[in-house]
A and B are shown apart, each in its own frame.
Chain A
Amino acid sequence: MTAAIPTIALVGNPNAGKSSLFNALTGARQKIANYPGVTVERKAGHASFADGRPLSLVDLPGSYSLTPASPDEAVTRDVVLGQQAGERRPDALVVVVDAANLDNHLCFALELIALGLPTVVALNMLDLATRDGLTLDPAILSRELGVPVVPTVAVRKRGLTDLLAAVDGAILSHQTQATAQPAPPPSDVALHQRAKAIARAATLSETPVRRWTAQVDAVVLHPALGFLILLALMFVMFQGVYAWSEAPIGWIEGGIAALQEAVTAALPDGFLRGLIIEGVLGGVGSVIVFLPQILILFLFILLLEATGYMTRAAFLMDGIMAKVGLSGRGFIPLLSSFACAVPGIMATRAIPDAKDRLTTILIAPLMTCSARLPVYTLIIGAFIPNSNVGGSPVGLQGLVLFGLYLSGIVGALVVALVLRRTVAKGNAAGFMMEMPRYQWPRLRDVGIALWQRAWIFLRRAGTIIFVTTIALWLLLSYPKVPTDSTESQVDYSVAGRIASGLEVVVAPIGFNHDIALALIPAMAAREVAVSALATANAIEAGDDEEAMAQSLSERLQGRWSIATALAFLAWFVFAPQCISTIAITRRETNGWKWPLFMVGYLFALAYAAAGITYWTAVAFGLG
């Protein structure tokens, strides 16, 4: 009789629909954190029994057995065995199995049931099994397994009340009964045979599988056509990031301008007004503006994952990735890195081979993350004409953006090739994964995930970016330039003087004082480069109304040559400018060796790339 809230763990194979069930049970009441000491995500949430008693739910990483093959599978094992530091052993298990894949999923279920904890099996995605022509009898399954079996369709919220009632019952009867001695684990083969026999017994009828998904796969996984489709999807994704974000960006800009006017009207001229208008609204606002683009990018990635296409993409990419010593497994973390390298690097824990994983971590920052988008957008908007390429519907600006993404990818492949032959030498990486069935993405699941990403971005904007922008504004505003001096305020300030020192180093690759100034705070987060440029420009404009009226990109056009702008873009393709990425690399590789290596090689690449771009552009008369 414990008064504590019972903890129930959701556990099962990958692709069993665990996350959907978790979302359906907890709604948006979720908390994502890390298990102490490891960077495996701990997803927890709250729900309540029918009579209102609360319970806490933990969603464990998908796993095939209690013998882990990767760090996240190890967490699953340790939690269910009660060996995970800082985590109480769950009071009950909900084993989630895919109704259409019992043969396979029952193996892990049998292993888990043998642990002797109160256990309920959720026979999930029963609707898809029916679609595939399967008729199952949960009662027979329950008798064979010796635990309650509850049919669920997580995405339609079917069976959830029954599931929780069964869990409640299992915990109660466990308390009154003597605990069964856990049976010794049977061999792989014996386990499979038993799973198969049980699955056969519970299957009442089975019509041949409907094969429309096979027809889709015949096209999507076609060696040549499938690859073209993948490229086309990526291209649409990057064009979409541009085209669909225009209107919402306009609204946000309008809102910030209105706020600035309101503050101007309400406050007298002075320190506070300057801080709010130039520092807070100018700086943070210039980053918030990119929320629509980041959300569009994440939406694409989430949809590709939810439909089951992402694994097809991994299949198509495996051949290329194998040539540079990686595996298709690495494609998913790398694609996530297009949104942000931090979750991307965390997603590498699903890669079983240590050297394969290390290489993927080291090249993840080369994928163009969303934090670079603000920088790219600003510079492209200012320097690349908004016209179409030769009368086609392909926009020149979108094309340049695509080119920048491509440079990062090609750079990453070359770096991987070199690393796998030098510092990360090892056996050819393996590639084994399950191909999920196609599914309609569930708006609710996609919505929750999208909201979580937006929140992370806004929190970053509200903390790291806010603080660095304010700090930079202070450094730029003081000391005040004497009225009789010919120097500008920016050059005279503390930040301006530091930048002048850095300028000596970056002048050969075409960087001017503005850029040197923006590079320092951009170490905190790349997008700060934009707010730094905005803040510096706002301060320099001062009370000059004409200069204030000019947009940032108009001002940049007057101050930078095209060669400098291109070099700045090339720099950002490679530069390791994000402290969070360095920190997560340190945690994932357990030391400073690899993050320092990463920072070193990326800075060297960035310097070389910017230099080559600048000198080439100057040679073509763009200097």
Chain B
Amino acid sequence: MNPKLDSAKLGIAVRISRIDWDHMSHDEGRRLREFGLMEGIEVTPLHRGSLFSRDPLALAIGRMQVIIRARQAAMIEVAPTAP
């Protein structure tokens, strides 16, 4: 089991190793790709949740920041970036 983006440490860049496209809707997958979330891309989780909720998750992709839900982040496998 590789670590998933929903439990990745905040502030540390990770590389997306696999995305479980089959378990998300067509539109969800397309919007992720439009945001630039694809295999091989580096992302940095920045902020997670408010008050008593662990949703949502704010990520930095390049110079852009996007917000996704933990449910989608749980379908994104990540690996440490190459040193």
Contacts and interface: CB of A to CB of B under 8 A. Distances in A.
Contact of A328 (B30, B38, B56): B56
B12 interface: no
B12 to A, nearest CB: 14
A192 B47 contact: no
Centre residue among B28, B48, B64, B66 by max chain A CB count within 10 A: B64
A64 B31 contact: yes
10 contacts: A64-B34, A103-B63, A188-B38, A221-B50, A315-B58, A315-B67, A317-B50, A319-B53, A352-B31, A432-B72
Interface in B59-82: 61-69, 71-72
Given A100-B63, A432-B66, A432-B68, A319 B52 contact: yes
B27 A315 contact: no
Interface of A: 64-65, 67, 69, 100-101, 103-104, 107, 132, 188-189, 192, 209, 214, 217, 221, 223-224, 226-227, 311, 314-320, 322-323, 327-328, 352, 428, 430-435
A248 to B, nearest CB: 36
A434 B64 contact: yes
Contacts of B28: 430, 432
- Would you list the 3 A-B pairs with minimal beta carbon distance, nearest first? A319-B53, A435-B65, A64-B34
Interface residues of B, number: 33
B35 A189 contact: no
A101 B63 contact: yes
Contacts of B30: 65, 67, 69, 188
Given A315-B67, A428-B71, A434-B66, A320 B58 contact: no
B43 to A, nearest CB: 13
A431 B33 contact: no
A431 B62 CA distance: 20
Contacts of B38: 188-189, 192
Given A318-B56, A319-B52, 7 more contacts: A69-B27, A188-B34, A189-B38, A320-B50, A428-B71, A430-B72, A432-B72
Contacts of B48: 223
Interface of B: 27-28, 30-36, 38, 46-56, 58, 61-69, 71-72
Nearest to A318: B56
Nearest to A134: B63
A432 B64 contact: no
A193 B13 CA distance: 20
B37 to A, nearest CB: 10
Contacts of B71: 428, 430
A578 B80 CA distance: 56
A192 B40 CA distance: 12
Q: Which of B32, B51, B54 has the most CB of A within 10 A?
A: B51
Given A223-B49, A319-B49, A328-B56, A432 B32 contact: yes
Nearest to A195: B36
A352 B50 CA distance: 23
Contacts of A311: 67
B53 A104 contact: no
A311 B64 CA distance: 14
Given A223-B50, A430-B72, A352 B27 contact: yes
B66 A227 contact: no
B35 A221 contact: no
Nearest to B51: A227
Contacts of B46: 214, 217, 221
B64 A69 contact: no
Contacts of B50: 221, 223-224, 226-227, 315-320
Most buried by B among A65, A103, A224, A435: A435
Contacts of A433: 66-67
B58 to A, nearest CB: 6
Contacts of B36: 103-104, 192
A326 to B, nearest CB: 12
Contacts of A352: 27, 31
A132 B35 CA distance: 20
